[in-house]
Amino acid sequence: MEYKEIATPSRTKEILKKYGFSFKKSLGQNFLTEPNILRNIVFAADLSEKTNVIEVGPGIGALTEHLARYAKQVLAFEIDGRLIEVLDETMEPYPNVTVINEDVLKADLVTVTKEIFEEDLPIKVVANLPYYITTPIMMHFLESNLDVAEMVVMMQKEVGDRITAQPSTKAYGSLSIAVQYYMEASVAFIVPKTAFVPQPNVDSAIIKLVRRQTPAVTVTNERAFFKLTKAAFNQRRKTLWNNLLATYGKEEETKERLTVALSVAGIDPKRRGETLSLQEFADLSNALAEVKIN
C-alpha cells in the first residue's frame, strides 16, 4: 500500500485542515514540509534495524514516519494533546511507533524506554526541537542516566553555532562546554526557514552529537566544573578574575585561594573566559577543589 508523504505542503495543509489545527506559538510549533530534508536527517542519524529512536515534538509525524521506516522502534514525546489524535491516524501504518502525550522534561527517560523498547539496542535522539526549549531538552538527555549514543537534532542556527563553537570565538560559552564535555559536536547541514510551516524568522541547523566513551576532560567534581564554566561567562566582557569574584566571593581568604588555584592551573587571571579551552577549565576546576573552593 502506498502512503502519501506527510511532509509536503499540500499534505500538511490537508491534515491541518481536517483536524482544524491551529499553531501554538507558545509551543514553538514549526512543521517541516520538505521530504528531502527529512531524508537527510535520517541519513545523518545513520539509523538501522539495530537502533531505537527517541523523538521530541513529532507534530503531525513528518519526521516520525521517516524514522519508523529505518529504526527498530520509535518513541515520540508530544506535549500537545491536540496532536495525539492526528498522530494516531498518520502513524497508523507504523506499528513500531509509540507516541506518549507527555512533557519530555518531566519524563523518567530510563523507566519509559525500558517499558517501551522491546530490545536493548543503542538509543539515538532524532528530533526537530522546539526553539524556545532546545537547551533544556538537550541537557535533560545529556544529564540523565539514559545511555544516548547519538543525537541528531534540529535547532536555531545560532544555538547550533554555540554548541559547536571553539575557544576564542564569539559563540563559545558555557553551553559549548556543557555539550562538548559529553559529546563530539558537529554541524551536519543547514535548513532554510522556507522549509517550514509556519515559517520561522531564522534558519536552522542540524547538529550531530556523538557520545564520547569518557568525558572530554577529567574533573574532580562535575557539579563544581559546570559551576565554574557558568561563572567564567557570567559577564563576557569582564576578566576571568572579576567573574570568579562575583561567583565565589570577594573575601580576602577567597581571593588568596583563587590566586593560588589560577597559579597552579597556569592561567592568567586577566584572561577572559572565552579564551579558555575545556582542558584549562578542567585544570582550574581541579585546582579550585584543591584549595577547597567549590
- The answer on whether 46 is annotated among ligand-binding residues is no
DSSP string, 146-187: S-EEEEEEEEEHHHHHHHH--TTSTT-SHHHHHHHHHEEEEE
Q: In angstroms, rounded to a whole number, what is the distance separating the alpha carbons of residues 39 and 8?
A: 13
Q: Strands 123-128 and 148-156, how do they pair?
A: parallel
User: Which residues, other chains included, contact 113 with Cβ-Cβ below 8 Å and sequence gap of 6+?
Assistant: 52, 54, 75, 123, 146
**203 known member of a binding site:** no
Q: What are the phi and psi torsion angles at 76 (to 5°)?
A: -115, 130
Which DSSP symbol is given to 113? H
Residue with cell 523518567: 108
At residue 266, the 3 state secondary structure works out as: coil
**147 among the known binding-site residues?**
no
Residue 128 among known ligand-binding residues: yes
CA quadruple 17, 41, 121, 94: dihedral positive or negative? positive
How far from each other are the two terminal CA atoms of the chain, in whole angstroms?
A: 61
DSSP 33: -
Please state, in angstroms and as integers, the Cα–Cα distance from residue 159 to each residue in 120, 156, 206, following that order: 32, 5, 11
CA distance 107 to 68: 22
Residues 172 and 166: beta-carbon distance below 8 Å: yes
Q: Is 57 annotated as a binding residue?
A: yes
Residue 32 in marked binding region:
yes
Are the beta carbons of 248 and 261 closer than 8 angstroms?
A: no
Residue ranges at the known binding site for S-adenosyl-L-methionine = 30, 32, 57, 78, 103, 128
Residue ranges at the known binding site = 30, 32, 57, 78, 103, 128
